[in-house]
Amino acid sequence: MAVIVSKSVAKAETLMYGNGMRTESKYLLMFKASPSERIDIIRKGVPAEALVITGTDMGMPKERLLAFLHFPRSTINRRISKKEPLPPEFSERMIGLQKLIGQVESIMADSGYDQNFNAAHWVAQWLEQPLPALANAKPADYMDTVEGQELVAGLLAKMQSGAYA
């Protein structure tokens, strides 16, 4: 049993932080992870510092990231300073954002145009753009719930297939 648990923890840490020998980003790994692997991470709790790292990767101020994920600033700052994990409901939203970045990386890799493309920055900008498919709301307005994140991911999939208008 200890071997299974340690493998699970090792896989979760690779998904959150990547590893030095990887060729795929931590976001692409999260996108490609199985639901059971992501559930393990959610239950364990995403390290609070992942919010800062993801925000930095996106070129997005922490305050804006907190706002659209609907995370209370004081709770997050306390968890970061104490090196505590996020609670499951926050971990789930954080993983959803990371999956979204990984989805864009996957789309770009499939298209052959992934060289020098920063998916995290692109996602940060795209989330702030009003979209006709959302009645001119911004995708960021939907990032505070899992259902909203799935809706936003579905829009990206439609863009990839050319079905998006």
- pLDDT reported for residue 110: 86
Whole-number pLDDT of residue 3: 33
Regarding pTM above 0.75, the answer is: yes
User: Domain range for residue 72?
Assistant: 2-161
Structural domains of the chain, count: 1
SS3 24: coil
Low-confidence ranges of the chain (pLDDT < 50): 1-9, 21, 165
pLDDT at 1: 32
Q: Report the candidate in 164, 162, 160, 142 with the shortest Cα–Cα distance to residue 151.
A: 142
